Structure 1
Amino acid sequence: MHRRNFLFASLAASVAPMALRAQSYEVSRSEAEWRAMLTPAEFNVMRDQGTERAGSSPLDKVYAEGTYHCRGCDLALYPSSTKYDSGTGWPSFYAALPDAVGTAVDKSLFQTRTEVHCRRCGSHLGHIFSDGPAPTGQRHCLNGVSLVFRAA
């Protein structure tokens, strides 16, 4: 392996996914169990803190009344009433349901961001930014593959 490729691979392996797995969650599964229940794209985002391509999630354009649940454990996370079109290409919300999500500091990609995850199973959902609408001013920028929409 070339030195440059080795350095990039080492850096990628050392970032946030280890922090995600270091915590204990109410719903826990082995890596093999997660891989068996999730597609490779879902596993990449939810367990390895990847990001889906902008504009690739059909949930970005869903504005029906209902609730968005965690794909990993089915916990209700976000009401449709807090969803808005951020223009980013990812489903965006200005607030989660009470006691639904947790946050962590994400220092990957040479910047500091607020990572948001399911509080029950630890699945990575996306990031929270401070450029959202009132009343919170937050933008919960989420990966659609981490979510399941249930219409009301």
Structure 2
Amino acid sequence: MSNYQKTTEAISKLTPEQYRITQEAATEPAFRNRYWDNHEQGLYVDIVSGEPLFASIDKFDSGSGWPSFTVPVDPDNIVEKRDRSWGMVRTEVRSKHGDSHLGHLFDDGPREQGGLRYCINSAAMRFIPLAELEAAGYGDFAHLFTTEEAAR
């Protein structure tokens, strides 16, 4: 897959929660979302455009109750914007092609892995298990999960 884009059809298939989060920049409840405690190997993609966002090998338990990652799979698929909502200044994370609100970026991640924490809403993503990458059109990302890469 390489033609990632936001379409009316994709938007029409979103649940009300997915719509609020991706299109209206809402936040889902901590510890009560689909992927915060997912430990399966695989790829997380934008629920709207399908663009690859994060790999499970870069996911860690931040204790926040949301899926947290140290680095995106492809930084070109991530857009960072200044967010001044809620009386604070944060960095909003959006998908480039889907223009989906994903979550926020913080500087309190694991220091040994660069110190970043991409705190992402589960409802903004679709998880593709490692065994299904090829069939789903994401076979090019299977190399991320080889023994050598997964050990990093």
Same fold per superposition (TM over 0.5): yes
Structure 1's consecutive aligned runs of 4 or more residues displaced over 2 angstroms after TM superposition are 26-30
The CA deviation at 1:58 is 2.3
* Residue 37 of structure 1 pairs with residue 13 of structure 2: yes
Partner of 2:53: 77
Q: Percent identity?
A: 32
What is the DSSP-based 3-state SS (H/G/I as helix, E as strand, rest coil) of the residue aligned with 1:47? Answer: helix
Task: Give the counterpart letter for 1:146 in structure 2.
Answer: A
CA contact (8 A) 2:10 2:48 kept: no
What is the DSSP-based 3-state SS (H/G/I as helix, E as strand, rest coil) of the residue aligned with 1:42? Answer: helix
Partner of 1:16: none
* Residue 145 of structure 1 pairs with residue 123 of structure 2: yes
Structure 2 length-normalised TM: 0.77
Query: Could you tell me how far apart the structure 2 residues matched to 1:60 and 1:108 are?
Result: 24
Query: Could you tell me how far apart the structure 2 residues matched to 1:29 and 1:104 are?
Result: 22
**RMSD over equivalenced CA pairs, Å:** 1.5
What is the DSSP-based 3-state SS (H/G/I as helix, E as strand, rest coil) of the residue aligned with 2:43? Answer: strand
Query: Could you tell me how far apart the structure 1 residues matched to 2:98 and 2:49 are?
Result: 6
Partner of 2:101: 124
- Larger Rg, first or second structure (1 or 2): 1
Which segments of 5 or more consecutive residues in structure 2 lack a partner in the other structure?
131-152
Once the two structures are superposed, residues 59-112 of structure 1 have per-residue CA deviations (whole angstroms, 9 ceiling, x without a partner) of 111111111011011111101110000011000001001222111001111111
Query: Could you tell me how far apart the structure 2 residues matched to 1:29 and 1:83 are?
Result: 28
Partner of 1:111: 88
Once the two structures are superposed, residues 25-67 of structure 1 have per-residue CA deviations (whole angstroms, 9 ceiling, x without a partner) of x72445x972x22111111100000000111112111111111
Partner of 1:27: 5
Partner of 2:114: 136
Partner of 1:102: 79
Partner of 2:44: 68
Query: Could you tell me how far apart the structure 1 residues matched to 2:20 and 2:57 are?
Result: 28
